[in-house]
Amino acid sequence: MLKTAINALWYLGNIPNTYVFKKAALHPERTQSTKLFQYIKNNAYTQFGQQHNFEHIKTFSDYQKYVPIRGYNDFEPWIQKVIEGKTHILTIESVLCLMPTSGVTGDIKLIPYTQGLQKEFSLGVAPWINNTFKLKPNIMGGSSYWSIAPSLIEFNQKSAVKIGYTEKSSYISSKIHGLINSVIAVPNSLIKLHSIDSFNYLTLLYLLACKDLRFVSVWHPYYFSQLLKQLKSYWQLLLNDLATGSISLDEKHDINEYKIEPMPKRSELLAKFTADQYTRIWPELSLISCWGEENSVYALQNIANKFPQAVIQEKGLIATEAFISFPLGVNQNIKPISINSHFFEFINDKGQSKLVHELRLGEEYNLVVSTAGGLYRYFLQDRIKVVDFFLNLPCLKFIGKPSID
């Protein structure tokens, strides 16, 4: 009952942002215009704003005139100043952390996260999660697994701003983050581990301890398949640790803060199964949300075969830099743009910049975003196609990575 109450509170807390999304979906042009000029007004006296004449921007054409489309490398001089501890560089807001992510070439990018950017992600998460609760109401009575990735990158450069995940950079609103943690199977703090083996082992241990796992949200289905594959090699060790509440890992200095309650009955039950009997290990798992486009089709089917009782929901397009679209239900074409999250531009094959309300069914575009994190007219290196409409919003399908000419 407690978990139902907590998830219900999360659902209720998401209702205002869900309502805002549905209202905005009817008026995308007005919504996007308001978003853009909020950025301009709020950040006019930042270093970036002053260098790009924000005070003189009155129209979208002015914005195009004064602010060129840029990739990450072009933003590095400003981000370097953030690393050095300088303020009011890209945004008037303080930078909470710099989130590392890999670029198309494999180079590491450091993306500034602000409270405003965290709120923009929350504006996308709210209608997605509430629609998911409606799709499978029973998940409200159990636990969820939200996959995270450990920060295995070591930076030699000192930074005045934290590099890596903080709870304030979570997709979930900081107001309810602590509450939601009590229904999350695997603690987000695992991201601090510096050993991938320790990370995987502890993730599996926490998942095995979760007998009421009902919802799984991972990015790529291949990752989830590979994680589950490791159950076989760790199986007996995991069951022993689950029974005794111990953690059998060599890196003791890295895992001191992690505890698990002894669960001898749970361990005894699992010992009757083999490591690949996933539906018996987690019989209540009913919805798995993961990436389903481009090269993930085979891995997606593999997950569906492992969990025939679960609904598979293909995720929308989400990047470290921006929350772009999300699924409504399980229809793979109904992934509307997250209209409240950021300011979006779409570059067609003629090099023309189109806004959300100008997109046409069946056409392809390269995606450009402006965000509250301080990335203005940022070339996201995602090519999308408009495959449907929800109210007045285009529904997007990711079709590949364009290159910058």
pLDDT at residue number 56: 96
271/184 Cα distance (integer angstroms): 24
pLDDT at residue number 100: 87
Residue where the block lists tokens 């772009």: 324
Q: Map residue 258 onto helix, strand or coil.
A: coil
pLDDT above 60: residue 6: yes
Q: Using an 8 Å Cβ cutoff, are 339 and 128 in contact?
A: no
CATH code of 201's domain: 3.40.50.12780
pLDDT tens-place string over residues 51-78: 999 999 999 999 999 999 999 999 999 9
pLDDT at residue number 172: 61
pLDDT at residue number 194: 77
- What is the mean pLDDT of the segment spanning 192-216? 92
Q: Using an 8 Å Cβ cutoff, are 75 and 48 in contact?
A: no
Query: HEC profile for 74-125?
Result: HHHHHHHHHHCCCCCCCCCCCCCEEEEEECCCCCEEEEEECHHHHHHHHHHH
User: Domain total for the chain?
Assistant: 1
Q: Using an 8 Å Cβ cutoff, are 99 and 297 in contact?
A: no
pLDDT tens-place string over residues 369-401: 999 999 999 999 899 999 999 999 999 999 988
pLDDT tens-place string over residues 293-334: 878 888 999 999 999 999 999 999 999 999 999 999 888 889
pLDDT at residue number 126: 95
pLDDT above 80: residue 199: yes
- What is the mean pLDDT of the segment spanning 267-283? 97
Q: The domain containing residue 158 runs over which residues?
A: 1-405
| Other beta carbons within 10 Å of 110 | 25
239/209 Cα distance (integer angstroms): 9
Q: Which amino acid is at 176?
A: I
pLDDT above 60: residue 168: no
Cα–Cα distance list, 298 to 225, 292, 293 (Å): 11, 9, 10
pLDDT above 70: residue 173: no
**pLDDT confidence bin for 106, thresholds 50/70/90:** low
Q: Map residue 214 onto helix, strand or coil.
A: strand
| Other beta carbons within 10 Å of 116 | 18
- Determine phi and psi for 287, rounding to 5 degrees: -150, 130
User: Which own/partner pairs from 301-308 qualify as long-range (CB within 8 Å, at least 24 positions apart)?
Assistant: 302/221, 302/225, 303/221, 303/224, 303/225, 306/225, 306/228, 306/278, 306/279, 307/278, 307/279, 307/282, 308/279
pLDDT at residue number 132: 94
pLDDT at residue number 151: 63
pLDDT tens-place string over residues 118-160: 999 999 999 999 999 999 999 999 999 999 876 655 666 688 8
Give the rounded percent of residues in the chain with a pLDDT score beyond 70: 91
Give the rounded percent of residues in the chain with a pLDDT score beyond 90: 76
